[in-house]
Amino acid sequence: MELQTYTRTELGRKAKKIRAQGRIPAELFGSGIENKHLSVPAKEFKKLYDAAGENTVITLVIDEKEKVSALISEVQQNGLSQSIIAIDFRAVRRDEKIQVAVPISYAGTDMAAKNGFIIVKILDEIEIEALPQEIPHEFVVDITPLENPGQSIEVKDVAIPKGVKIKIPEDTVIVTVTEKEKEIITEAPPQEEEPAEGETAKEDTAEEK
């Protein structure tokens, strides 16, 4: 997949001008290369991003002459409109392994909920090491087998593609089942009023008399 990008000189607050022209400010960084300030046509990027996501190697075509293999490292969105306001690209070499976090996608039927229990999703991504072109788009975890408290799915239960190395312990729990938390209401024991300052001393003096 190729994406046309262009060198930009508008930085900081001037980036608003870029967005007003239907482009998105972007940064390209990576080991062994000089950071570049870029802009990307918004419509073209959205189309590519929907297809590639953050773990697919793409080719950035810079100013219609330079080509760089890269991953979409981060996409920033406006909290209200959800429009993309900034992008980070990470330059990669196809012959050099890198470490990335691959998102987890949960699928299947929530049988635990049907039995009156709760599914607790502990992880939303898994750290891996692989060649850029071998990085999976996501890990799909089927929660259907989870029906009762104590059941869980661990990293070792996930199908790992060839060439991918998991960077966290294989017995790390990804998702588990627990009982519903019951609301416990307890009455606080009545508290004795503390005597006012000097009151105890007065009572002691009265008893002595």
Q: Three-state DSSP class for 96?
A: coil
Assess contact for 58 and 2: CB atoms under 8 A. Answer: yes
H/E element, 189: none
Structural domains for the chain: 2-92 (2.40.240.10), 99-179 (2.170.120.20)
Q: Are 70 and 91 in contact (CB under 8 A)?
A: yes
Half-sphere exposure of 117 (CA within 13 A, CB side): 18
Q: Tokens for 60?
A: 């950035």
- How far apart CA 34 and CA 56 sit, in angstroms, is 22
Structure confidence by residue, pLDDT tens digits, 50-98: 887 788 889 999 998 899 999 998 899 888 888 899 999 999 998 999 9
Six token digits for residue 139: 């890990």
Contact 78, 24 (CB under 8 A): no
Is 0.75 topped by the overall pTM?
no
Instruction: Tell me whether strands 125-130 and 165-166 are parallel, antiparallel or unpaired.
Output: antiparallel
- Closest C-alpha among 22, 66, 56 to residue 40: 22
Using 50, 70 and 90 to split pLDDT, how confident is the model at 190? Answer: low
123-181 per-position pLDDT tens digit = 999 999 999 999 998 999 999 999 999 999 999 999 999 999 999 999 999 999 998 75
